[in-house]
Amino acid sequence: MLEKTFIGQKSKINFSEGPDNGPTVILLHALGASWKSWNSIINFFINKYHLIAIDLRGHGNSDHIKENYSWENYSSDIYDFINYNSYKNIHIIGHSLGGIVGAITSINHKSIKTLCMEDPPIFFGGNNKSKNLLSLFEKQMLLSKKNMTIEKTANEIIKFSKNIKKDVAITRAKNILSADYRIWETILLNKNRGHYSSDILIKNINIPTLILRANPKKNGVITEIQQKKLTENKNIEIDYWEDSGHNMHSTFPKRFSVKYSIFLNNYINNI
């Protein structure tokens, strides 16, 4: 994977690209992460796909911006990126926030043919917010503002994270320190949704879509009742992982990779 830069209409976007070994698959990370959060699955995919892993605006080495970090604003960068490169057939995998960004982009860009959403917070917003997640976002935002060393930030993360390993804490610390604190502020101020309510988003997904759902008891963000709402759209397939929390691809990289490959192959074989 080779890191590169794309200059969009509103921001500079950092991304990493692999060799053109097959269908183009764009990877979009979660809130407060970076393209490197996909490292656990890249080796499973790099020899059969053309991988592009993007740092969303305000994350990693991409630009920090003055306007708020709404779902639509993130999506506009991906839209511009696809247009600039004249891609005709794109497949998107998005984790959490990245899944939402991928969904909005797919609604507006016809070059996107399939979508995989890893535990996406489609219903998160307004009165439907997890207190645990809000508390976590507040802590991460404060750490970003404090701008301490990586070591000190990692130690703070260890204090409020259950059973987290030191190397994972260090990676998260690096992501938090490179991110714009306003990525969390936008959510805490309830400005993240823009024009996309959960109903509008679900109704307008019109391409083959795989949603990997984590267990709510392990910090998954989709309940059983919400899953039934998602299945009203016949384009959406849901795979529930009872043994997994929110970070599905990093916890079970091989299972994730196999499941996705089956999904994408089914689409390609039925074109």
pLDDT, tens digit (0-9, with 9 covering 90-100), for 26-79:
999 999 999 999 999 999 999 999 999 999 999 999 999 987 799 999 999 999
CA distance 79 to 65: 17
Q: What number is the average pLDDT over the span 244-259? A: 95
CA distances from 206 to 25, 74, 113, 122, 259 (A): 18, 20, 9, 16, 21
Look at residue 187 and tell me if it is in a domain. Answer: no
**What angle (nearest 5°) sits at the alpha carbon of residue 92, between those of residues 88 and 97?**
140
> pLDDT > 70: what percent of the chain?
97
Look at residue 189 and tell me if it is in a domain. Answer: no
- For residue 115, what are the domain limits? 2-126+195-269
Number of domains forming the structure of the chain: 1
Look at residue 166 and tell me if it is in a domain. Answer: no
CA distance 219 to 192: 20
- What SS3 class is residue 214? strand
Is the confidence at residue 127, as pLDDT, over 90?
A: no
Look at residue 78 and tell me if it is in a domain. Answer: yes
Q: Select the more confidently predicted residue: 190 or 74.
A: 74
Look at residue 28 and tell me if it is in a domain. Answer: yes
CATH number of the domain within which 220 lies: 3.40.50.1820
